[in-house]
Amino acid sequence: MTLLERTNHLVEHYDLNPVFAMRIASELSDISPEAISLLLREKPKPFVKWVGGKRQLLAQFRNIGAYPPPGFNPAKNTYFEPFVGGGAMYFDLLPLKAHINDINSELTTTYSVIRDDVERLIQELNSGEYVYDQDVFLNIRAWDTDLVTEVKRAARFIYLNRTAFNGMYRVNKSGKFNVPFGRYTNPQICDSENLRKVSEVLKGTKVSNKSYKYVLDAAKPGDFIYFDPPYYPVSKTASFTTYSNDVFLGKEQEELRDTFMELHNRGCFVMLSNSDTPFTESLFNTYRMSGITVNKVQANRAINSKASARGKIYEILVTNY
């Protein structure tokens, strides 16, 4: 069987997304049910919890036929995720060729260290220094990350993600992480097995720490770009998260729309998530005739801290295919 035939066989018989199926088809010569089920059990997963994580929405994206783009060829083209965060979609697709990016340098350093130096990272996390204790937490939180090695920066980042309140990432005006200690029962700080698997799949992936606009210099026709930016606030009272000191309001959302359209005109497959508001919907109004579709999907996430204000929350998913 050719690579494409093996990929199609996997998509049909195991209900896999075609991008992941192609990775398996290119890595395994044996596509027996035993080999496949072993591989599925071994699939790496996101190594951080991230606010705005898309994991629960992926099935809906697939059900409405918006994901992955039917014409995208992962053997030839690259997958870009310029606002990668925890990378739910990256880990779902596990594309052969990928470029992930985030403006958060602690996060991107962690991706790079996992890819290039996973054994030293695991050793560091298991050194006895990263224990779940409030005083230890406050001490590690206070480190000046410019003064420590990249391995320590990555270990600190993973430690804080597992022990800080709600796994949140928030910095103050001077860029210092300021989320308080979280209450957990026995949090797992080092999942060595998953980190090793993540390291393997990251080997074919470029990681960068830039503004998302870099993608305009890098993407080629046929590439697939998924934008999952900080969401436009649903209301003035909605608690929305500041990921870094960068704001992402009206002007920034319009610039992102322009980047989307430039990639569309170049012949890329483009997909963008956002909150469902009159403003975010209107952003694409004049482009609907050019093949842009605005889909609505239902998210279960609570974006309002008041239980009474939590209802069915919708998000939009814009595609150009």
Ligand X SMILES: C[S@@+](CC[C@H](N)C(=O)[O-])C[C@H]1O[C@@H](n2cnc3c(N)ncnc32)[C@H](O)[C@@H]1O
**What residues make contact with ligand X under the rule CB under 6 A?**
50, 52-54, 82-83, 85-88, 102-104, 211-212, 228-230, 243-244, 246, 248
Which residues, 6 or more positions from 233, have their beta carbon under 8 angstroms from its beta carbon?
240, 249, 275, 277
Smaller CB separation from ligand X, 129 or 252: 252
Pick between residue 7 and residue 109 the one whose CB is nearest to ligand X: 109
CB 95, min distance to ligand X, A = 15
Beta-carbon contacts of 174 under 8 Å, excluding residues fewer than 6 positions away, are none
Complex with ligand X: residue 35 or 302, whichever CB lies closer = 302
The DSSP-derived string for 61-99 is HHHTT-SS-TT--TTTS-EEETT-TT-HHHHHH--SSEE
Tokens of 145: 């990350």
Q: Nearest distance from residue 85's CB to ligand X, in Å? A: 3
Q: Are 50 and 169 in contact (CB under 8 A)?
A: yes
Q: What is the DSSP letter of 298?
A: E
User: Least distance in Å: CB of 63 to ligand X?
Assistant: 18
Closest by CA position to 318, among listed 69, 49, 40, 44: 69
26 versus 208: smaller Cβ distance to ligand X: 208
Angle between helices 150-163 and 134-141 (to 10 degrees): 140
> At its nearest, how many Å lie between ligand X and the CB of residue 52?
3
Tell me the closest approach of the beta carbon of residue 36 to ligand X, in angstroms: 26
- State in angstroms the smallest separation of the CB of 209 from ligand X: 9
Residue 216 has phi, psi (to 5 degrees) of -65, -30
Nearer to ligand X, 175 or 291 (CB): 175
Q: Give the angle subtended at the CA of 20 by the CAs of 19 and 22, to the nearest 5°.
A: 70
**Nearer Cβ to ligand X (31/248):** 248
Q: For ligand X, which is the closer residue by CB, 87 or 95?
A: 87
Q: Which of 83, 101, 79 is nearest to 19 (CA)?
A: 79
CA Rg, the chain, in Å? 20
Taking the complex as a whole, how short is the minimal distance between the CB of residue 181 and ligand X, in angstroms? 22
Q: For the CB of residue 31, give the shortest distance to ligand X in the complex, in Å.
A: 29
Between CA 174 and CA 301 the distance in angstroms is 30
Q: How far apart are CA 162 and CA 205, in angstroms?
A: 25
Cβ-based nearer residue to ligand X, 9 or 43: 43
The stretches of 94-191 forming alpha helices (DSSP H) are 105-125, 134-141, 150-163
